[in-house]
Amino acid sequence: MGKHKKDNPGDLLQGTLDLLILKALARGPLHGYAVAEWIHESSQDVLRVEEGALYPALHRLELQGLLSAKWGASENNRRAKYYSLTSAGEKRLADETEYWRRMSSAVARVLQTA
């Protein structure tokens, strides 16, 4: 009966998973598995998305209107749900990327200070 209110993005920082998903979809529509794989590969196996958390995140972004989804046939000719960025999603991606850059460089500067 208990509910877990808090999202649990695994090893990733809160909010980071959303950014990564948006980024993954920036190049074109993908299904869930491909999103997970893309993140995994492009981070050179460092970031591994907890797959159980991926789908709720995708659905949440869809509800927020940042993604749109369409059912299509996958490479192995199965029914798969393809997600793509909406224009709101693109804008959010740009904002978040910018924000992330500033944050990470700020954190890096702090860490460099002796």
Partner 1 sequence: MEIAFLKRISLRVKTLLLREQLDRDLADEIAHHLELRAEQIRSVGIDADEARYAARRRFGNATGLKEKSRELWTFAVIETLWEDVRYGSRSLRKNLGFTAVAVLTLALGVGANTAIFSVVKAVLFSALPYRQPDRIVAVARGDSETPHPTNVSYAEVEDWKARTRSLYDFALYHGWTPASSGKGTPEIVYGLRVTRNFFEDLGSSPFLGRGFLPEEDRPGRWHVVVLSYPYWVRRFGSNPDAVGQTILLDQVPFQIVGVLPRNFEPLSFTDAGSPPDVWAPLGYDLSIPQSGRTWQHLHAIARLGDGVTLGAARAEMNSIAWQLAREFPKDYPPDASVLILPLRESWYGKIATALWLLFGATGVVLLIACANVANLLLAQSTKKRREVALRSVLGASRSRIIRQLLTESTVLGLLGAVGGVLLASWGTALLTRWTPDDIPRMAGVRFDPTVLLFTLGIATTTGVLMGLVPALETSRADYHEALEQSSRGVRGMSRSRLRNLLVASQVCLAFVLTVASGLLLKSFMRALNVNPGFKIENLYEVNFKLIGPKYSDDAVVVRTQTEVLERVRHIPGVESVSLASTPPISGSFGALDRAGFVIQDRHIPDPAVPSVDRYIVSPDYFVAMGIPLLHGRLFTDTDANSAHHVAIISEMAARQIFPGEDPLGRHIQLGGRHDDRPWATIIGIVGDVHQYGLDSPVTPQSYLLYSQSPDATVLMVRSTVGSAALTRAIEEQIWAIDKNTVIFNPAWMSEILRHSLVSRRFTMFLLAGFGALAVLLAAIGIYGVMSYMVAQRTSEIGIRMALGAQKRDTFRLVSRDAMLRAGLGLLAGLLLSVALTRVLSSELFAVSPLDPLTFGAVLLLLAAVALGACYVPARRAARVDPMIALRHE
Q: Does 109 bind partner 1 (CB under 8 A)?
A: no
CB of 27 to partner 1, least distance (A): 19
Question: What is the x/- site pattern for partner 1, positions 9-28, by CB under 8 A?
Answer: --------------------
Q: Measured in Å, how far apart are the chain's first and last C-alpha atoms? A: 50
Residue 46 in tokens? 């460092």
CB of 92 to partner 1, least distance (A): 11
Q: How big is the CA angle at 50 (ends 45 and 55), to the nearest 5 degrees?
A: 125
- From the list 12-20, 30-38, 92-100, 103-111, the region that binds partner 1 by CB under 8 A is 30-38
CB of 107 to partner 1, least distance (A): 29
Q: How many residues bind partner 1 (CB under 8 A)?
A: 28
Select 33 or 99, whichever has its Cβ closest to partner 1: 33
CB of 4 to partner 1, least distance (A): 7
